[in-house]
Amino acid sequence: MSENGSAAVEHGKRVREMFGKIAGRYDVLNHLLSGNVDKRWRKKVANKLKTKLVGKDPLILDVACGTGDLSLTLFENTGARVIATDFCRPMLSIAADKVPGTINLIEGDALRLPFRDATFDAVTIAFGLRNLASVEGGLAELLRILKPSGWLVVLEFSRPTNFILRPLFGLYFKRILPLMGGMISGSLSAYTYLPNSVSRFPDQEQLALLMKDSGFQQVSFDNLTGGIAALHMGSRSS
């Protein structure tokens, strides 16, 4: 295995173990630390995607589904069939208790998804892309499994656009959230990793560019809650 390949495997292992440790507290903390805004963001993904789903009986793959909140929101709000995948078993076990049996949960790595080319009408990834060893590698894999004219939606933390909100959110996200998250989850490192991984991740414009460079078309994004998060969309060419 190449040096890059083994670094990617190591990175994946660390991320999987980290989510495995916090899985039991993940949902509570998500809703608490975001003041429940995360639910609105996921609903927005479903509503945006619904307008893009054409044809009979569309099939969505929710990648890095974690405990299944977005998978469930997609299922309840789009009318599409949903498959959900993640590489962390403890996160998937929590999802299994929450989602209906009609949502198939499949263990899989976002960088090597166990699906044939051009399988899905839409693919979503919420707060997952940032965690991959290679964002470009992830985007290439998501494009591969999309049908022609299919849509990708990425929901991810981004950069607040408002000059008043930016420093206030920075203070909360980098100082207060790690302490609260660390105390409640018992893993300070996981909630220190969160702001660190967001600051390494491309901002709104850079991610849009990366999606275009990866072969996505009609790329656009919406800032959510003043740019604290962003919703990017792009399609596979017909």
Helical segments of the chain, H only = 3-34, 37-50, 69-78, 89-98, 135-145, 165-171, 177-185, 188-200, 204-213
Give the shortest CB-90-to-ligand SAM separation in angstroms. Answer: 9
Determine the residue with CB nearest ligand SAM: 66
Nearer to ligand SAM, 34 or 149 (CB): 34
Cα–Cα distance measured from residue 180 to residue 149, given in angstroms and rounded to the nearest whole number:
43
Structure tokens at 144: 């591969």
Nearest to 235 by CA among 128, 158, 164, 143: 143
- Cα–Cα nearest to 158, from 169, 142, 143: 169
Stretch binding ligand SAM (CB under 6 A), from 114-122, 127-135, 213-221, 229-237:
127-135
Least separation in angstroms between CB 87 and ligand SAM: 4
Q: Is 228 in the site for ligand SAM (CB under 6 A)?
A: no
What's the min distance (Å) between Cβ of 55 and ligand SAM? 25
Judged by beta carbon, residue 127 or residue 173, the one nearer ligand SAM is 127
Residue 69 makes contact with ligand SAM by CB under 6 A: yes
| Cβ-based nearer residue to ligand SAM, 127 or 221 | 127
Check binding of 127 to ligand SAM (CB under 6 A).
yes
Give long-range contacts, CB 8 A cutoff, 24+ apart: 76-84: 76/46, 77/43, 77/46, 77/47, 77/50, 78/46, 78/49, 78/50, 78/53, 79/50, 80/53, 80/121, 80/122, 81/57, 83/59, 83/120
**What order do you get walking across the sheet with 146-157 strand by strand?**
104-107, 81-86, 59-63, 120-126, 146-157, 229-235, 217-224
Pick 19 or 151: Cβ nearer ligand SAM: 19
Q: Is 141 in the site for ligand SAM (CB under 6 A)?
A: no
Size of interface with ligand SAM, in residues (CB under 6 A) = 21
Contact flag: residue 111 with ligand SAM (CB under 6 A): yes
Candidates 85-93, 146-154, 213-221, 225-233 — which segment interacts with ligand SAM by CB under 6 A?
A: 85-93
Kindly state whether residue 211 participates in binding ligand SAM, applying the rule CB under 6 A. no
Which residues contact ligand SAM by CB under 6 A? 12, 15-16, 19, 64-66, 69-70, 86-88, 91, 109-111, 126-128, 131-132
